[in-house]
């Protein structure tokens, strides 16, 4: 089910749903033997590696390493199979090697993404015309760079 947001300020009521569009990409990555670098256009780039701790009640903490390329976090073949409905529209991709890693690029994490600015503009607005005018001004140079959404607004 797509995400749904509903809001109401003193002057404007609004509702939105996430539009079902293709807003993610996968790139198969070639990693070095240590798994610390990936190959891009014939050059090795260093992965950013984040170390997190997942705390689970009444169980030992679980360490988690998240590897990030410039395109997004790395995801393995097993994770893609498990999440096939989300990532690939329900079809399960065939992988000949379970050790394959992919960079997962998502529109909501793209550089310059402005969804939260868009939402802040809606919640700060006093009327639909004011909101639309502000959005037009904000997006005049580069256009809207955010998630695809369906929006309905009403004012007094």
pLDDT digit of tens for each residue in the chain (156 aa)?
Answer: 445 555 556 778 888 887 777 778 889 999 999 999 999 999 999 999 999 999 999 999 999 999 999 999 998 887 777 766 666 666 666 777 777 898 988 877 776 778 888 888 888 888 999 999 999 998 888 888 778 888 899 988
Question: Contact at 8 Å (CB) between 80 and 87?
Answer: yes
Instruction: Give the per-residue pLDDT at 2.
Output: 47
- Cα separation, 10 vs 23, in Å, equals 33
Q: What domains lie within the chain, and their CATH numbers? A: 4-21+111-155 (no CATH), 24-108 (2.30.120.10)
Instruction: Give the per-residue pLDDT at 142.
Output: 80
- Cα separation, 86 vs 104, in Å, equals 12
First CA to last CA distance, the chain: 31
- Cα separation, 154 vs 133, in Å, equals 15
Instruction: Give the per-residue pLDDT at 69.
Output: 94
CB-facing half-sphere around the CA of 100: CA atoms within 13 A? 15
């Amino acid at each position: 089910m797509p995400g749904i947001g509903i809001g109401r300020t003193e002057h404007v009521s609004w509702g939105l749903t996430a539009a079902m569009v293709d807003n993610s990409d996968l790139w198969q990555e070639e990693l070095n033997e240590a798994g610390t670098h990936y190959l891009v256009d014939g050059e090795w780039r260093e992965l950013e590696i984040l170390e997190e701790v997942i705390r689970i009640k009444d169980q030992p903490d679980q360490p988690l390493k998240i590897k990030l390329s410039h395109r997004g976090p790395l995801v393995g073949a097993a994770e893609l199979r498990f999440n096939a409905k989300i990532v690939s529209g329900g079809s399960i991709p065939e992988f000949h090697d379970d050790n394959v890693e992919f960079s997962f690029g998502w529109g909501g994490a793209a550089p310059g993404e402005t969804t939260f600015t868009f939402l802040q503009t809606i919640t700060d607005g006093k009327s639909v015309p004011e909101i639309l005018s502000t959005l037009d001004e904000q997006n005049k140079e580069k256009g809207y760079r955010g998630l695809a959404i369906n929006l309905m607004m009403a004012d007094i």
